Structure 1
Amino acid sequence: MNASDTRLWRLMQPAVTLVLVVVSIGVPLWLVVVTAGKSRGEALNPDLSLPSEWHLLDNLRQVWTDGEVLSASLGSLLVVVPAVLGVLLFGSMAAWILARRATRLNAVLYALAISGIVLPPAVVTVVLLLRQLGLAGTAVGMIGVYMGIYMSTVIFFVTGFVRTIPSSLEEAAQMDGAGPMKVFWLVVLPLLRPVLATATILVCLYVWNDVFYAFFVIGGRVDTLPLNLFRVASAGLYLNNWHLIFAYVVLMSLPLIAVFAIAQRKIISGITSGAVK
């Protein structure tokens, strides 16, 4: 590639990136919004056309009342909040030890810890284990599953970030008489806020939208938003009512969209600081 071709490609890169973003994100988002704003007849065959008359607020109101969105939201929070807090706490502790103690054993443990990013969990084995422990169909069992699944993600990000923190800060606290737990809580943990913010958002995205593992583990005994959407979409009330199904998707996505829009800078800074360095 000669110099002119290189300059041309550099000029075309923003346009190509914009087209890819519009195709991969903009088109599905547009389909969801316009379908949620249509009447039942117009939404029978979802497409990208605008509705002849917007019914978005009416559809959202009907979904909120008939779809039991409030109770399902509370069920999702019951699972998401403890799972996210638990995986951040234990994952950051493990990452701190793995980053600071450079031994062959810890290198092996780190490789095993992050292998969960690419190796999917065996659902059948997980369900059978939870039955043996008496946790099948419970929120506690679901929280433990989520913590086990996404522990690798937290360890991966936090370990790289800890390595960028000067160890002299911890040594100074130890010289003042602080023990390991006090050093972690008072020195290390406050410095991990950027990468923990990134991990929080990523894990929340995964757990909030999960239906696969929740379906097999809790089986509808705890009503989360994705499971509730699956239930109401299969019921006679929502059968072929695509405008209501897509309106439910809009309601379910609003909290995550707001969180992502507010914290997108922290996501980028956390990834570059933790994963790249």
Structure 2
Amino acid sequence: MNTAPTPSRARLTPGAVLHALLVLTVTASFLGVPLWVAVVTAGKDQAEAVVPGLALPSSWHLLDNIQTVIAQGRMGPAALGSLVVTIPSVFLALLFGSMASWVLARRSSRAMAAVYAVFISGVVLPPSIITLMMLLRMTGLAGTAVGMVCAYVGVYLSIVIFFITGFIRTIPISLEESARIDGAGPARVFFTIILPLLRPTLASATILIVLYIWNDVFYALFILSGKMSTLPLNLYTVASEGLYLNNWHLIFSYIIVMTLPLLVLFVIGQRRIISGITGGAVK
């Protein structure tokens, strides 16, 4: 006869429920209030949007404001510029970062540990913009899309390596050994075995890096130097020129349009985000 006690279900006490509600309320306030202000301000006319607030507009002008910023805000060339620098930067950072992570994860020597520490130091030690600009000018890449891509790859390669190295350590090395016995070389092992298994972590890293690059103004301002435009840099430019002076409804409409691609990307890849973030932490 089995006399083992059956586990009892955890019961939520009133204090626990109150604590959970408090946490959800605070979280919703931090996330929801800025989003609410952006949407309602973008839906107002100029007179109502002079002082941004939480009140609903007397009549919605959101579509009209979006049409205005697309037509007058030079968003077309800026969107093309953002795509030109974002897509190659993310692709190259993920590719080279995955390769480097594979090598680092399969080597356990002290030298490789030191190399790994140097590679991920970029997570906490941002590069010097002055040194970066000097290097780009010496190579003739300052003010070009190629120079911008090189800068982004160098800046965010550390994040990719940090994400992926821990995940690769969870992959059984026996899979690689079986492929090598069958005659597969390093390139084939990586692209046919390792890379497909990295999809959850690559999805998380992709969303994170796209978020950084898509919203970047700092590096684009110094490196492109006005010779090329991206969406956030264009918003900074038109706002500085006075085109959107006191036109908060247009500024927030621009921000909403600029954020839509990120929202779509997040919705598509949300199933892989959590598994990708936690995968590297389990060994």
SS in 1 for 2:48: coil
> Which position in structure 2 is the counterpart of 1:59?
65
Q: CA RMSD in A?
A: 1.4
Displacement of 1:11: 2.7
> Which position in structure 2 is the counterpart of 1:236?
242
What is the distance in 2 between the residues matched to 1:247 and 1:266?
A: 30
What is the distance in 2 between the residues matched to 1:9 and 1:182?
A: 56
SS in 2 for 1:240: coil
Q: Is the 8 A contact 2:238 2:244 kept in 1?
A: yes
Displacement of 1:271: 0.2
2:38 is the alignment partner of 1:32:
yes
> Which position in structure 1 is the counterpart of 2:119?
113
> Which position in structure 1 is the counterpart of 2:229?
223
What is the distance in 2 between the residues matched to 1:16 and 1:159?
A: 37
Q: Which amino acid aligns with 2:266?
A: F
> Which position in structure 2 is the counterpart of 1:208?
214
Q: How does 1:18-167 map to 2 (within 5 A)?
A: 18-167=24-173
Q: Which runs of 5+ in 2 are unaligned?
A: 1-11
Displacement of 1:49: 1.1
Of 170, 174, 180 in structure 1, the residue corresponding to residue 176 of structure 2 is: 170
> Which position in structure 2 is the counterpart of 1:3?
none
What is the distance in 1 between the residues matched to 2:134 and 2:264?
A: 37
Q: Is the 8 A contact 2:170 2:282 kept in 1?
A: no
Q: Is the 8 A contact 1:123 1:213 kept in 2?
A: yes
Identity across the alignment (%):
59
After TM superposition, the runs of 4+ consecutive aligned structure 1 residues lying more than 3 A away are 6-10
Of 186, 193, 198 in structure 2, the residue corresponding to residue 192 of structure 1 is: 198
Q: Which amino acid aligns with 1:235?
A: E
> Which position in structure 2 is the counterpart of 1:181?
187
Provide the TM-score with structure 1 as the length reference: 0.95
Q: Is the 8 A contact 1:156 1:275 kept in 2?
A: no
SS in 2 for 1:48: coil
Of 246, 250, 274 in structure 2, the residue corresponding to residue 268 of structure 1 is: 274
Displacement of 1:253: 0.3
Q: Which runs of 5+ in 1 are unaligned?
A: 1-5
Q: Which amino acid aligns with 1:155?
A: I
Moved more, 116-125 or 243-252: 116-125
Displacement of 1:276: 4.7
Distance 1:171 1:13, change over 3 A: farther
After superposition, give the CA deviation of every residue in 1:179-233 in whole Å (9 maximum; x if it has no partner).
1111101111111111111111110000000001110111221111011111111
Provide the TM-score with structure 2 as the length reference: 0.93
Distance 1:9 1:96, change over 3 A: farther
What is the distance in 1 between the residues matched to 2:43 and 2:242?
A: 21
SS in 2 for 1:41: helix
Q: Is the 8 A contact 2:73 2:238 kept in 1?
A: yes
Tell me the matched-pair count. Answer: 272
SS in 2 for 1:42: helix
After superposition, give the CA deviation of every residue in 1:35-84 in whole Å (9 maximum; x if it has no partner).
10000011111111111111000000111111121221111000000000
Distance 1:12 1:261, change over 3 A: farther
SS in 2 for 1:223: coil
After superposition, give the CA deviation of every residue in 1:6-55 in whole Å (9 maximum; x if it has no partner).
95553334213312222211111111111100000111111111111110
What is the distance in 2 between the residues matched to 1:269 and 1:141?
A: 33
Q: Is the 8 A contact 2:46 2:249 kept in 1?
A: yes
Distance 1:22 1:152, change over 3 A: same
What is the distance in 2 between the residues matched to 1:160 and 1:223?
A: 37
